[in-house]
Structure 1
Amino acid sequence: MSTSFAKSTARERITQVVEGWFLTEPLLFAAWTMHDVVEHAGIATIRVGHGRIEFNPDFVRSLRRDQLRSVLGFEAMRILLGHPYGRQQPKAELSYLASNLSVQECLRTKLPIPRAREVFGDERYDDQYFEFYYRELAERGSDDESAEEESADDQPEQASSDAADKSGDDQQEPQSPEDEPQDDDSQVDQPSAEANAQQDAANTLESYSDPDQVGMENTGQWDNDDLKRDEINAAVREAAETDGWGTVGGAAKEQLLATLHPKLDYRGVLRNFRQSVLSVRRRLTRMKPSRRYGFAQMGSRYDFTTKLLFAVDVSGSMGHRDLRLGFSVISHFFRYGVESVDVIWFDEDIRGEPVTLRRARSTFEVTGRGGTNFAPVMEFIDQHRDYDGLVVFTDGYAPVPPKPKNTRTRILWLFKDEATYRQMNQGLRPLGRSVFLQESARQ
C-alpha cells in the first residue's frame, strides 16, 4: 500500500480509485457518478440505494487499494445491472446472495464471493441472471428446511444427558496462581501491524460477502425507480454505441445489453399466435341471408376449426409449480376461437396418447420425470400434420432438435423463465418464435 494512499481518508481513497476509471473504465465511472457518495458510520460495509452510495469509513480504510478497487467495481456493476432499482424480492438475504452471484459471474473478481457453480455444484448455473439465482436459492432453501424438520423429528432426546455431562466437566478444581499462564513478552510472538491490517481486511471483506451479516442492511433501500433505471440504461446504450465498455467482459456485456430490451408480454404473444393459427370452415345456411341477395340466396356461416397441440415438458428439471403454471396457460386458448386443445407430455419421449381438452382444467396426472428431448415432439407433428399450431412449454435444458419436415404447423416455444429463454432462443429461431413467462406470472 503506497504511503499517500495509506494516509488518505476513506473518501479520498474512493475518489482516487474512481478517478482512475475515467479513461480506463468509462462505464463504471458513469455508474458511480450518477450517485451521491455519503459517509455512513452506522452501516457495516457499503451499500447502494435511492441514488446514494453509502460507505462505512472504517471498512474502506481497512482495504488495500486493489481490494477497494474490486469492491467499488462490484457495486458499480450491481448498479448497471439494475439490482437496487427494480429487482425486489421478499427475502433480503437471498436477494443479496443472488445479486452477488450475478455480479460475480460478470466480473469474476478475487473477492471472497463464490461463483454460481460453487454454490450449486453445477457449471450449468454459470452466467445466469438475478431472478434465476434467487428462485433456485429459494427452492433449495425450502427443501433444506423440510429436511431439517424431518431430521429434528428423528433425533433422540439427549439434551438432559448432554447437559449433565457438561455440568460434570465444568466442575473442576480451581487453578492455583502457579498454574496460571504467565505473560512473557520474550516468549510470545506479537503480530505485526501489517499482519493485523491484513487480518482486519479479510474479516471485513468476509462480512461484505456474507448475506447473513449484511444482506438485510445492504438491500434495505432497494426499490423500483424507473427514472434511475432509464438513466443507467442510457449509459449502457452509449457504451454499446461508442464501444466504451472498458475492461467489461463478454458475459457482462450480454447481461447489460439484455437490460435494454423490454420484457416480452407472453400473453400478447399467445394472442398473436392463436390468431395466426386460427382456421375457419365456410358453410352455406338458409338461416342467414346473403349480404348481397338477401334471402333469395343462402348465406354463409364460418366455424372455427383450429386444431392446436400443447406439449408439456415433464422432465425432472420441471418442478410441480412449473407444471401447474404451464397447464394454466392452456386456458388462454379457450377464450376465443379454439374449441379444443390436444395435450401431450414428454421428457425423453412422448408419454402416452394426446388428451383432448374442450375446457380449461386445473389438475392433471403426469408421468415421466426423466431428461428432456425435443426431437420426439418434432417427430410427432411430422406424423400428425393436421395441427395448425404447436406450443412447447419447457425449461429449455435440451439440445436443439432437427427442424421438422412439417411446415404447416406453426411452433411457439414457451419457456418457464427468462434465463432459459435467453439461453435457447437463438438456436430455436429457425423452428419458431420463443417467449418466456414473466416473474409476475409465477408468483
Structure 2
Amino acid sequence: MSYEWWIGARYAGLSRTGRGGRRGDRFVSFVAASSMAGIALGVAALIVVLSVMNGFQTQVRDRMLSVLPHIELYWPGVPHQQVLDHWQALAREAEADPAVRGAAPFVAAQAMLARGQSFSGVQVRGIDPATEPRVSALRDQLESGTLDSLAPGAYRVIIGSQIAQSLGLRVGDTVLLLAPQGSISPAGFSPRMRQFTVSGVFASGYYEYDATLAFINVEDAARVFRDSGTSGVRLRIADMQQAPVVARQLLAVLPPGVSAADWTQNNRTWFAAVQTEKRMMFLILTLIVAVAAFNLLSSLVMAVKDKQSDIAILRTLGATPAEIARIFLVQGTLIGVVGTAAGVLLGALVAYHIDVIVPWIEHLIGVQFLPQQIYFISELPSNPQLGDMTVIGLTSLALSLLATLYPSWRASRLQPAQVLRHD
C-alpha cells in the first residue's frame, strides 16, 4: 500500500493507527465519521422514499389494469354490430402472437347515469360476460352481484362502488342511462335514454375508475351507442411492460384499418405526472446528499488546516504536491465510498422490510399512517429497484468526489517554509 493510501485511510478514521494518539487525530476521525453518517442517512432516505413511490405506482398500475386491458384493437368508423360479428377472426389473429394470453370484445362510450335529481357522468364499457375474465379481473372485484347477470337484452349494468354511493344505488335498483346521441324535434334536442337495472357493484381500489366506470352487455352497448364510441377487441398479454412493443407487432400483421392502443397510451397523463413527481422528488432529496457532501468538504478543509505541519514535514521529506493532493483525495473518497455503501445497505434493508417496520412503528406510537377507508390500502407499499439504487449510489459518489477536489488542491498549494515558520 502506498503511503498516500495509508495516510488518507488514517485521516478518514479507517486505520487503526488513526483511532488513538493525538487529540487532533481523534477530532479529525470524529469529523470524518460524522460526514460518513450524513452521506449514509441521505442515501438511505433517498432509496426508501423512491422505493415507496415505486410501490404506490405499482399498486395503482396493477389496480388500473385489473379493470382495463393491456391492449385495445378497434376499427374507427365501423359500425359496432359489424365489429361484433367479426371480432372472433380478429381475436384469432391476435392470439397467434405468443405474447397474447386472452381476447374479448368491447364497446366503449361515454354516457350519463341519472336517478331522481342526481346525475353522474360515466365511461360505459360493453363487455361479453363469457370472455371478459380472459382480459380483466372484474369478476374478482365484484362486491355484490355476478358478471353473468349481464345477459344480452336484459339491460343490466354493473357500476363502480363510488357511483353507487353518489347515486344511492344498490343491486336491483333502476337507473336511467342517457346516451350522447338523440333526436331533434320542434321541442328541442331529446337524448337517447334507456332504463337499466343495477345487477352488480365492483370496487377496484382505484377511485377514478370506481367513480366513472360502468359495464353493460356488449350487445346492449352496440344498440344504445350505435352512432358513437368505439368497438373492437381487448387483449391481455403475458408481460404488461411489453404492451407498446406487442401493439406495434400486431399492427404489422393485422388487416389495414385496425388501430391499436396500449395501456401506457390510454393513461399517458397519469404516468407522465407520476414520473415527473418521481424525478422532482429525486432532485429534492438529492439535496440531502449534497448537504452531506458540503459537510465532507468542510471536514476536509478542517483536516487540511489541522494537518498543515504534517503536510510541511512530508514536503520537506520529498513528497510532491500531487502526492499531498492524493492523500486528501483518498481521505474524501474513502469517506464517500463507506458512507454511500452504508447508506445503500441501510436503505435497502428498510425498503425491503418496510412491511414489517411500519406496522411496528404504528403499534409503538398508536397511529395508523394509511387508514384503509381513505387510501384503499392498509400497508405502505415498497418496490425497491436496482436501477434507482445504482443511480443514487453513483450520484452520492460523484458529489463526494467533487467535495474532495478543493481541499486537496489547497493542501497541495501549501508552502512548507511558511507553515514551519509560523509553527
Q: TM-score by structure 1 length?
A: 0.23
Higher relative contact order (CA 8 A, sep 6+): 2
Q: Which protein has the bigger helix share?
A: 2
Q: TM-score by structure 2 length?
A: 0.24
